[in-house]
Structure 1
């Protein structure tokens, strides 16, 4: 059975999922990734109606992929299937979500996020260079010092920056709006970006960050800008070479910074735009310096 067979057999569920993801504000990259996972899942059902599939079918599919996939991939696949069934429930095509009965991998769930210490984050800023330095620096600051996701940076419009109030309106996951107070310096760089903003190709383009071709800066372009900064930083800091840094690691750094500065976890949750405080809890890890400091309080007797 090929892709076209699947589209014919499961045309209504696929259509429902496609519409639901767009309506829910999923990024294009996530939609493609989730749809690919769901196509593989539907193939494994061997023409069984999705309404009749249960926990056994979901687990069986995950196990079939387990040999070639790690915990992170398994959890992503499970999230895709959960979302798929959520869309079917929303459009009244089924009444239950068997994927909710399957637990996520604890190994990945409990893994400490990769992040930059505050001093390393500060040093990395000096590696933002080039013709569009102010624009790129503003992007870096929004992720590292305001906790924005790469998709949220991509979706920013001119009207979202409230200069007088010193805030930024952010369209997050699930099309939920969040108003974030901006550090003064970040606000200053956003003003510079507005002043230097390239004239968009389309007069109706409201994008805050515009590419040199006059179009909204894509997620891929934002990721490329961040990667270039990190590559330059790693060249001069060999101890960071093996650290996998990305846009999302800047968000991890911001979250860790908040909690290390004793910000109430409920406030951190709101700033990060998390749906659940459990998600914010993964950032309450203890760093090496805190461990060393704790151990200096221990007095070992001389024998």
Structure 2
């Protein structure tokens, strides 16, 4: 089992080009499953079936893991077994029989940071369309763009030297939005190579940044289809809208401590009340803040420090 796990991690690293953090996350999830299999006296991944998975889920629930954490494990193992089937190590993928657990988190919908980065890392870049998808989703997450702003973005609205976008947004309101080095890297690669190739197939000549397979301007529906396909490849149990990426952008900035008025400016909201829908706090964040702030917890930490000094 260890050799098959390592083969999968090598595949993620050298063929899929996943980041080290994403590969490490997969490794943790698979190692946890291997430990469980060995505790139950199983010797191979081939022995796993639906009944075993249900038993594993019971164990995870007894550990008081959140539904989001359990869904993350299921997603990782589903991808792992997909690899095992393709390599002929197992006959089928029993994790396809298990649906994601309900989380009740739908106001607004967003991805946790691990899932957001995992989605971006999972995008195939071995084709011109794949490179377009990578550049587009990286920029959407880097700058919190609306779908309409993505499809109408033009080359002259990108300032690479200052890493800023000029956005003509909703309600005819203009704003400047920054983007980071990672987004710049993929955007430059796409514009200098993949975009040129896509436009040359039908001799297109326009300034829209993101183009379809025929070199024409992408539509809102086209962006939705791309996001859906990328998410399906990453986690087939979940469907997201492009706005989910914008929600994730805002949520992660606020969770990191950015002032809500700055986030309002980046999103192009006319009213602060619109931005306030993103001030929801994830369960993990809530627990983290509570444990740091709770008076009783603080007293216990002080007592522990005194004991260690004594």
TM-score in same-fold range (> 0.5): yes
TM-score by length of 1: 0.57
Q: What stretches of structure 1 of length at least 5 have no aligned partner?
A: 1-110, 236-240
Give the 3 Å change call, closer, same or farther, for CA 160–202 of structure 1 in structure 2.
Answer: farther
Q: Deviations over 1:22-77 (max 9, x none)?
A: xxxxxxxxxxxxxxxxxxxxxxxxxxxxxxxxxxxxxxxxxxxxxxxxxxxxxxxx
Match of 2:181 among 180, 184, 192: 184
Give the 3 Å change call, closer, same or farther, for CA 202–160 of structure 1 in structure 2.
Answer: farther
Q: Work out the CA distance in 2 between the residues paired with 1:180 and 1:187.
A: 13
Q: Work out the CA distance in 2 between the residues paired with 1:229 and 1:143.
A: 14
- CA RMSD across the alignment: 2.1
Is 1:290 the counterpart of 2:285 in the alignment?
A: yes
Q: Which residue of 1 aligns with 2:164?
A: 167
Q: Which residue of 2 aligns with 1:228?
A: 229
The answer as to whether partners of 1:167 and 1:182 remain within 8 angstroms in 2 is yes
Q: Which residue of 1 aligns with 2:276?
A: 281
Is 1:211 the counterpart of 2:212 in the alignment?
A: yes
The answer as to whether partners of 2:212 and 2:218 remain within 8 angstroms in 1 is yes
Q: What stretches of structure 2 of length at least 5 have no aligned partner?
A: 1-105, 298-310
Match of 2:241 among 246, 251, 273: 246
Instruction: Extract structure 1 runs of 4+ deviating beyond 4 A.
Output: 200-204
Q: Which residue of 2 aligns with 1:261?
A: 256
Match of 1:271 among 262, 266, 281: 266
Q: Which residue of 2 aligns with 1:16?
A: none
SS of corresponding position for 2:235: helix
The answer as to whether partners of 1:124 and 1:233 remain within 8 angstroms in 2 is yes
Q: Which residue of 2 aligns with 1:44?
A: none
> Structure 2 matches for 1:1-303, cutoff 5 A?
112-129=107-124, 130-131=126-127, 132-196=129-193, 197=195, 198-199=198-199, 201=202, 204-235=205-236, 241=237, 243-296=238-291, 297=294, 299=296
The answer as to whether partners of 1:194 and 1:208 remain within 8 angstroms in 2 is yes
Count of residues paired in the alignment: 185
Alpha-carbon distance, 1:179 to partner: 1.2
Give the 3 Å change call, closer, same or farther, for CA 125–213 of structure 1 in structure 2.
Answer: same
More helix by share: 2
Alpha-carbon distance, 1:133 to partner: 2.1
Q: Work out the CA distance in 2 between the residues paired with 1:113 and 1:158.
A: 31
SS of corresponding position for 2:162: coil
